[in-house]
Amino acid sequence: MFALNPAASIATALLIPFWWGLGLFILACLGDVSPRLRPRVSRLFDWLERTRVQPPNEPAISPAAA
């Protein structure tokens, strides 16, 4: 493809969450405005919510018990 210099690689890595968030925001707005797209967008957000990493339900070990 093409080689990136270190500054471009760092800038790209820092901007990925911004573009991801902007894309999700646009999808949410489209789902809110368009009744035809609402079920698809809702399913996407439900799927994203299910794929989040869930923290373990085990209680933390206190330092006094160790």
Domain ranges of the chain: 8-50
pLDDT digits (tens, 9 = 90+) for 38-63: 999 999 999 988 887 766 676 667 66
**pTM for the whole structure:** 0.64
The pLDDT assigned to 50 comes to 86
The pLDDT assigned to 2 comes to 63
Report how far residue 12's alpha carbon sits from residue 17's, in angstroms, rounded to the nearest whole number.
Answer: 10
> Looking at per-residue confidence, does 1 or 2 come out higher?
2
Q: What are phi and psi of 64, to 5 degrees?
A: -70, -30
For the cut 60, the answer to whether the pLDDT of residue 1 exceeds it is no
Report how far residue 7's alpha carbon sits from residue 9's, in angstroms, rounded to the nearest whole number.
Answer: 5
Report how far residue 35's alpha carbon sits from residue 14's, in angstroms, rounded to the nearest whole number.
Answer: 34
% of the chain exceeding 90 in pLDDT: 52
